[in-house]
A and B are shown apart, each in its own frame.
Chain A
Amino acid sequence: MKRRDFIKNTAVGGVLLPQFLNGFSLKAIAQTSLMPASGHEQINDRVLVLIQLNGGNDGLNTVIPVDQYGAYQAARPNIALPQNKVLKLNGADAMALHPALAEIQQLFNEGKAGIVQAVSYPKPNFSHFRATDIWMTGSDSDKVLNTGWAGRYLNDSFPGFPDKYPNEIMPDPLAIQVGSVVASAFQGPAFTMGLAISNPANFYNLIEDKTDATSNTRWGEQLAYLEKVSQKTDQYAGVIKKAALSITRQSEKYPAPGKNPLADQLKIVARLVAGGLRTKVYLVSTGSFDTHAKQAEPDDTTTGTHAQLLRRVSEAVGAFMDDLKGLNVADRVMGMTFSEFGRRIKSNASGGTDHGAAAPVFYFGNVVKAGVIGTNPQLPTTATVNDNVAMQYDFRSVYATVLQQWLNLPPNEVQQVLMGPFPLLPMV
């Protein structure tokens, strides 16, 4: 045997042996082969951006039912917004927006944003965790699914993932989550279909090849090495980096980095979309909308926690849309917000609101059908502590609409992904 030659050939640069014994991959193919391989014919260049408002957003203080102002104010005197401060929506006089939503108002009035009223599902669940799972998986509230709705869509549209990817048709991640853990929305039948690119600070470390560990110790030195390899070896790190680095100028409307975490995340998304990634779905998130206490300042209800949270969303979406326009990709992107639930009609004694049911969804984009879908929630004249906003639209109708009309998934496959028929909404 020629040991020396072998050592010479394999030294230092890392041992490159053929990939073998990959039991996982084989098993995974076997598992997914039962899924229909619909092929790529319906794949277009459109992108869906999901904005998760963590914690349960108070829909009644987001889209204010001005046609029932008396009942609204009576139900929540300590947090109700003054009528003269709410933001008007062109062509929709019955409702108005929280004063912090200036950019969303502007988009709406320009015909680039819309609202779906009172989105929920039958028998709503009031646990953050459970309700989030329901939204992420697209399940009925009494069923538990182990796959996510977007994961099922991606698995259907990109058969053979991950073994046959990246490839020429799809060289990029199918879905990207800005955050540390890939949301269960992206969970496919066997694999997660999404890629987490971690929080903005780490994203820049990836782009800049920086590592965190600087400790001058034996373990610190090993850790720095591992972080470096970890950055370099993500099979998608190269394409992500290339896409990100190709964009050198972005909108000046973004707040300074670190000031608005959602804006930081959307800025990354814009950069990747414009940089040429064919990634279909992005998920960003911001919290915490869990406003049990001090939701608004008693002396000025247009200020306080909720106002700050909504301002972040509005500011971030406004800057994002401006950025997409400047980068010439605005026609390719549609965004929507969602929260695991809304909050109760009646406020509580701590100047907050407790876990509730339905809430509005915002959607936006250059080519969406703007307007309000649905009507204001019916508020009781004397709200009690258990009164909830009733559902008008099942959240899976929203999913069905974006899958079929935005992402061009054929109707029968939409039904398969969502495990049932859901009526479409005039969003696109």
Chain B
Amino acid sequence: MESTEATTRLETFRGKWSDEDVKHLLKRTMFGAKPDDVVHVRTLTPRKALKELLADEPAPPPPINNYNDNKFTDDEIMPGETWTTSINYDGTNNGRRRNSFKAWWLGLMLNQNRTLREKMVVFWHNHFATEANMVDNALMCYRHNALLRQHALGNFKELVKAITKDPAMLKYLNGTASNKKAPDENYGRELQELFTVGKGPGSQYTEADVKAAAKVLTGFRNDTITFVSLFDPGRHDSSDKTFSGFYQNTTIKGRRGPDGEQELDDLLTMIFAQDEVARFICRKLYRFFVYHQIDANTEATIITPLADVFRANNYEIKPVLCELFGSQHFFEAMNRGAMIKSPLDYTVGLCREFGIAFPESTDYADQYGLWLAVQNQTAAMQQNIGDPPNVAGWPAYYQEPMFDKLWVNSDTLPKRNVFTDGMTNGAIGRNGKKLAIDVLTFTQTLPNPADPVALIDDAVRRLYMLELPEKDKQYIKTSILLSGLQDMMSDHYWTQAWQNLTAKPDDTVNKTNVTRKLKSLYKYLMNLPQYQLT
């Protein structure tokens, strides 16, 4: 039997790909493992696959005006044109643009290329959590998001620097209100506690360090017309700032005038000199991508060497991910199916794996509307992108001892089931366009749908990371596909029904009959706890 203890280290994965390996890799690095993607990645070597997954991509086209209706017309931005060029801001357009932004972002996940980028955007969004509700400016939210996407697979230190000066973050953590007379400690604290050295045992920054950092960070504010940030020397505290023993008693020399901005570089240089930064980020990556629990053994054999790679590469993110996803440890059997799907993995993953059809970009109003519908469902399951619960991000990513178990509770589990039932029945729609699993088409892509045993085996393999016990599959076959006909000899009733449909695909009665059973089958499979795991 598998144990819960890791037995492998970071040595390179040398197994021959199996479908299960590829599925595991794709489900963790993307949103769901689409059958096409599994087929493609199997043809590559693990090395080549990682290279593709970590490839850079151009920035996507920005969100557009999808929001004109009989109650509101944006006089400035034509329908279908992007509103991200506009600095005109008012309460009405802002709400609409914020929804447009969230829909667009969800759409990027749904239509992601075969790369890690979108998953990493969510990772960094959770890490540098900002709330659209509090930032209250769709343009700033979009720019913040574009920044995360730009640096998602780049250099972490540069990302931290960019985020520190990002208008959305300056507003969110009170950087704009901070000045030499009243340095606000909020960002100075979170920069250390949440964004870099963290709260782990190897992190011993002090309250005095929080105060000192706050002084370094004075002077940044936002231009309230253009919503870009600037450095205002008149607000900057130009005194020398001395830090604790944790930072080797470093003193950051106070600078006057425009040079004051350079103190930020000094501060980051000092912070990034601490080994704990790399360890903190590697632990967070591990929890996000592999497993929530980090025991002493994992810390020593996985986290520490990963952190070494991170530092040796001057905080470049790709080498770390390459090491982690290319390791024997990542592919170890015990890590399969060991995570509870985040709501995004659940909703976006379902849409992608079942190949749910969304309207084309020419029909952007419905396209955005349906993207937003999926976003709303995900939000109801407690992962509202753009609006994490607070600056620490979603508790499921950090809160001991529950971690990802927090995604599932008496409120969200029924909502997950309602979502899968709804997607099976086509309950989410707009203007007569419905999001629905086409159970017939999906089933036709399985190797042998006419054989009920093979059909269930293959469906289970497609949808789960885990095997389903034989007795459960038998039960599903007789009680769902065969409507309670319990003898082995009855398998042919399903085969007959399937073949009848294949022979006469337009026969309504046949179609309804088979479709109804398949809907029950997939609903049931998605309601079992196995479907919650990835």
- The minimal Cβ–Cβ distance linking A13 to chain B, given in whole angstroms, is 9
**A218: Cβ under 8 A from any B Cβ:** yes
Which of A76-84, A150-158, A224-232, A273-281 lies at the interface with chain B? A224-232
Q: Is the CB of A127 within 8 A of B513?
A: yes
Contact flag A23-B377 (CB < 8 Å), given A129-B517, A290-B487? yes
Which of A2-10, A41-49, A97-105 lies at the interface with chain B? A2-10
Residue from B338, B406, B524 in contact with A222 in the complex, judged by beta carbons closer than 8 Å: B338
A residues less than 8 Å from B419 (CB atoms): 24
Q: Is the CB of A54 within 8 A of B483?
A: yes
- The minimal Cβ–Cβ distance linking A11 to chain B, given in whole angstroms, is 6
Contact flag A219-B486 (CB < 8 Å), given A1-B186, A6-B390, A7-B392? no
B residues less than 8 Å from A218 (CB atoms): 2, 4, 291, 293, 334-335, 338
Q: Which chain A residue lies CB-closest to B489?
A: A292
Q: Is the CB of A288 within 8 A of B410?
A: no
Contact flag A180-B475 (CB < 8 Å), given A1-B391, A11-B399, A227-B529? yes
B residues less than 8 Å from A133 (CB atoms): 512-513, 516
Residue from A7, A24, A127, A216 in contact with B418 in the complex, judged by beta carbons closer than 8 Å: A24
Q: Which chain A residue lies CB-closest to B4?
A: A218
- The minimal Cβ–Cβ distance linking A220 to chain B, given in whole angstroms, is 8
Q: Is the CB of A12 within 8 A of B413?
A: no
B residues less than 8 Å from A12 (CB atoms): 399, 401-402
- The minimal Cβ–Cβ distance linking B93 to chain A, given in whole angstroms, is 21
**B450: Cβ under 8 A from any A Cβ:** no
**B533: Cβ under 8 A from any A Cβ:** yes
- The minimal Cβ–Cβ distance linking B378 to chain A, given in whole angstroms, is 10
8 pairs of A and B residues whose beta carbons are closest in the complex: A54-B484, A226-B529, A218-B338, A233-B410, A219-B337, A14-B409, A287-B484, A288-B486
Q: Is the CB of A15 within 8 A of B382?
A: yes
- The minimal Cβ–Cβ distance linking A31 to chain B, given in whole angstroms, is 9
B residues less than 8 Å from A226 (CB atoms): 340, 408, 413, 529, 532-533
Q: Is the CB of A132 within 8 A of B409?
A: no
Q: Is the CB of A235 within 8 A of B395?
A: no
Q: How far is A23 from B293 in the complex, measured between Cα atoms in Å?
A: 35
- The minimal Cβ–Cβ distance linking B505 to chain A, given in whole angstroms, is 16
A residues less than 8 Å from B509 (CB atoms): 130, 144
Residue from B395, B484, B517, B530 in contact with A15 in the complex, judged by beta carbons closer than 8 Å: B395
Q: How far is A215 from B334 in the complex, measured between Cα atoms in Å?
A: 11
Q: Is the CB of B3 within 8 A of A219?
A: no
Q: Is the CB of B390 within 8 A of A7?
A: yes
Q: Could you list 22 A-B pairs, sorted by A, with CB under 8 Å?
A: A1-B186, A15-B389, A21-B377, A23-B377, A24-B427, A28-B427, A54-B485, A127-B513, A130-B513, A144-B508, A144-B509, A181-B479, A181-B480, A216-B4, A219-B336, A222-B338, A223-B466, A229-B413, A230-B529, A233-B413, A234-B414, A290-B490
Q: Which chain A residue lies CB-closest to B487?
A: A288
Q: Which residues of B in the span 277-310 have a Cβ within 8 Å of any Cβ on A?
A: 291, 293
Q: A11-B399, A17-B382, A24-B419 are in contact. List 20 more A-B contacts (CB 8 A).
A: A10-B389, A12-B401, A14-B409, A27-B427, A52-B484, A127-B513, A128-B493, A129-B497, A179-B479, A180-B524, A181-B520, A181-B523, A181-B524, A215-B1, A219-B465, A222-B339, A226-B529, A229-B413, A233-B410, A287-B478
- The minimal Cβ–Cβ distance linking B340 to chain A, given in whole angstroms, is 6
B334, B379, B410, B480 interface centre (most CB from chain A within 10 Å): B410
Interface residues on B, range: 35 or more
- The minimal Cβ–Cβ distance linking B529 to chain A, given in whole angstroms, is 4
B residues less than 8 Å from A6 (CB atoms): 389-390
**A167: Cβ under 8 A from any B Cβ:** no
**B380: Cβ under 8 A from any A Cβ:** yes
Q: How far is A19 from B379 in the complex, measured between Cα atoms in Å?
A: 10
**A356: Cβ under 8 A from any B Cβ:** no
A residues less than 8 Å from B2 (CB atoms): 216-218
Q: Which chain B residue lies CB-closest to A191?
A: B421
Q: Is the CB of A129 within 8 A of B483?
A: yes
A residues less than 8 Å from B422 (CB atoms): 24
Contact flag A223-B484 (CB < 8 Å), given A21-B380, A129-B517, A218-B335? no
Q: How far is A184 from B523 in the complex, measured between Cα atoms in Å?
A: 13
Q: Is the CB of B376 within 8 A of A11?
A: no
B residues less than 8 Å from A227 (CB atoms): 529
Q: How far is A12 from B406 in the complex, measured between Cα atoms in Å?
A: 7
**A209: Cβ under 8 A from any B Cβ:** no
B339, B484, B486, B489 interface centre (most CB from chain A within 10 Å): B484
Q: Is the CB of B390 within 8 A of A1?
A: yes
Q: Is the CB of B390 within 8 A of A217?
A: no
A residues less than 8 Å from B508 (CB atoms): 144
Q: Is the CB of A235 within 8 A of B414?
A: yes
A residues less than 8 Å from B96 (CB atoms): none
Q: Which residues of B in the span 464-485 have a Cβ within 8 Å of any Cβ on A?
A: 465-466, 475-476, 478-480, 483-485
- The minimal Cβ–Cβ distance linking B338 to chain A, given in whole angstroms, is 4
Q: Which residues of A in the span 229-248 have a Cβ within 8 Å of any Cβ on B?
A: 229-230, 232-235
Q: How far is A6 from B428 in the complex, measured between Cα atoms in Å?
A: 33
- The minimal Cβ–Cβ distance linking A218 to chain B, given in whole angstroms, is 4
Q: Is the CB of B373 within 8 A of A23?
A: yes
Residue from A15, A22, A221, A290 in contact with B409 in the complex, judged by beta carbons closer than 8 Å: A15
Q: How far is A22 from B508 in the complex, measured between Cα atoms in Å?
A: 33
- The minimal Cβ–Cβ distance linking B53 to chain A, given in whole angstroms, is 23
Q: Is the CB of B406 within 8 A of A14?
A: yes
A residues less than 8 Å from B409 (CB atoms): 14-15, 229, 233
A residues less than 8 Å from B1 (CB atoms): 215-217
**A16: Cβ under 8 A from any B Cβ:** yes
Q: How far is A402 from B350 in the complex, measured between Cα atoms in Å?
A: 42
Q: Is the CB of A23 within 8 A of B291?
A: no
Q: Is the CB of A287 within 8 A of B486?
A: yes
Q: How far is A23 from B513 in the complex, measured between Cα atoms in Å?
A: 29
**A285: Cβ under 8 A from any B Cβ:** yes
Q: Is the CB of A216 within 8 A of B466?
A: no
**B405: Cβ under 8 A from any A Cβ:** yes
- The minimal Cβ–Cβ distance linking B258 to chain A, given in whole angstroms, is 30
**B87: Cβ under 8 A from any A Cβ:** no
**B208: Cβ under 8 A from any A Cβ:** no
Q: How far is A285 from B377 in the complex, measured between Cα atoms in Å?
A: 35
Q: Is the CB of B405 within 8 A of A225?
A: yes
Q: How far is A218 from B404 in the complex, measured between Cα atoms in Å?
A: 13
A residues less than 8 Å from B392 (CB atoms): 3, 7
Residue from A179, A184, A230 in contact with B413 in the complex, judged by beta carbons closer than 8 Å: A230
**B228: Cβ under 8 A from any A Cβ:** no
Q: Is the CB of A288 within 8 A of B484?
A: yes
B residues less than 8 Å from A199 (CB atoms): 475
B residues less than 8 Å from A287 (CB atoms): 478, 484-486
Mask: chain A, 179-211; 1 = CB below 8 Å from B; 0 = not: 111001000001000000001000000000000
Q: How far is A179 from B524 in the complex, measured between Cα atoms in Å?
A: 12
Q: Is the CB of A129 within 8 A of B513?
A: yes
- The minimal Cβ–Cβ distance linking B352 to chain A, given in whole angstroms, is 20
**A351: Cβ under 8 A from any B Cβ:** no
Q: How far is A71 from B484 in the complex, measured between Cα atoms in Å?
A: 33
B residues less than 8 Å from A14 (CB atoms): 406, 409-411
B residues less than 8 Å from A288 (CB atoms): 484-487, 490
**A55: Cβ under 8 A from any B Cβ:** yes
Q: How far is A288 from B478 in the complex, measured between Cα atoms in Å?
A: 10
A residues less than 8 Å from B182 (CB atoms): none
A6, A11, A288 interface centre (most CB from chain B within 10 Å): A288
Q: Which residues of A in the span 115-135 have a Cβ within 8 Å of any Cβ on B?
A: 127-130, 132-133
Q: Is the CB of A16 within 8 A of B411?
A: yes
Q: How far is A223 from B508 in the complex, measured between Cα atoms in Å?
A: 39
**B273: Cβ under 8 A from any A Cβ:** no
Contact flag A128-B483 (CB < 8 Å), given A7-B390, A223-B530? yes
Q: How far is A17 from B394 in the complex, measured between Cα atoms in Å?
A: 13
Q: Which chain B residue lies CB-closest to A53?
A: B484
**B44: Cβ under 8 A from any A Cβ:** no
Contact flag A21-B395 (CB < 8 Å), given A15-B406, A233-B413, A285-B484? no
- The minimal Cβ–Cβ distance linking A282 to chain B, given in whole angstroms, is 16
